[in-house]
Amino acid sequence: MWFSCGSASAVAGKLALNQYGDDVIFACCVIPNEHPDNERFLRDCEKWYGKDILRLSNPKYKDAWDVWEKTKYLVGPTGARCTQELKKQVRNKFQKVTDIQVFGFTSEEIDRANRFKEQNPEVNLVTPLIDFNYNKQDCLKTIEEAGIEIPMMYKLGYKNNNCIGCVKGGTGYWNKIRKDFPDVFARMAKLERSLGATITKHKGQRIYLDELPENVGKYSTEDDFQCGLLCGVYKGQ
């Protein structure tokens, strides 16, 4: 079971335990860029499951910033470089061909799950949230009913419990980061300039974060984006 500190993967893990019992092995690709409250949430879920969650990482990199700076690449048509290095490579190294792999695709993500199956035919994928028709709100409600405090990023109004400052975010997302985490915004703006790369668009044109007007974008209406084994590029304006 791939645990990501999001509500969906947490509930998928509980459903997997109900189905497979002690055969379930929980694994989490740990990324230091995530909110520090994620470690608390992970420990709470370990208590809920009655099982430990393995912490996995790529020893080549300290965090996502290290990936971006060393590879000089942020995000492109195939997704974010940080996801490739810190999640996909770690999963590929850890998994066995005989594994049944549980992912937290929700009922809204049937198409995404199908794409994963098409692109990874060697993976024996199971999706309990889709099987039992759990959407994202169902997952949040289940976590709260279990007496577990939801992760801080949800409390701050973020749709997903991604890293603080995701390179797949749009203009509204990054203006929210500017307000909530100004140090992260400033660091990403500086990194963009040093790499000569941009991660957002405004009026159909690529724009550096240090040029982004503070009143541009509305995060609540922007397309959702995920950090996971299907790392799609945000295409909003």
pLDDT of residue 237: 29
In this prediction, residues 209-219 reach a mean pLDDT of 94
* Position 224 in a domain: no
* Position 2 in a domain: no
Domain range holding 18? 7-154
* Position 165 in a domain: no
Q: Which residues contact 146 (CB under 8 A, 6 or more apart)?
A: 14, 48
CATH code of the domain in which 84 resides: 3.40.50
Amino acid in position 56? L
Considering only CA atoms, give the Rg of the chain: 18
* Position 166 in a domain: no
pLDDT of residue 143: 97
The total of structural domains in the chain comes to: 1
Q: Is 232's pLDDT higher than 80?
A: no
* Position 52 in a domain: yes
* Position 98 in a domain: yes
Three-state SS sequence of the chain:
CECCCCHHHHHHHHHHHHHHHHHCCEEEECCCCCCCHHHHHHHHHHHHHCCCEEEECCCCCCCHHHHHHHHCCCEECCEEHHHHHHHHHHHHHHCCCCCEEECCCCHHHHHHHHHHHHHCCCCEEECHHHHCCCCHHHHHHHHHHCCCCCCHHHHCCCCCCCCCCCCCCCHHHHHHHHHHCHHHHHHHHHHHHHHCCCCEEECCEEECHHHCCCCCCCHHHCCCCCCCCCCCCCCCC
Q: Is 236's pLDDT higher than 50?
A: no
Interatomic CA distance for residues 125 and 117, integer angstroms: 7
* Position 190 in a domain: no
Q: Is 2's pLDDT higher than 50?
A: yes
| Mean per-residue pLDDT over the chain, rounded | 92
Lowest mean pLDDT among 101-105, 177-181, 224-228: 224-228
| Global confidence as pTM | 0.90
* Position 169 in a domain: no
Task: Please answer whether residues 85 and 67 qualify as being in contact, where contact means their C-beta atoms are separated by less than 8 angstroms.
Answer: yes
Q: Which residue has the higher pLDDT, 76 or 189?
A: 189
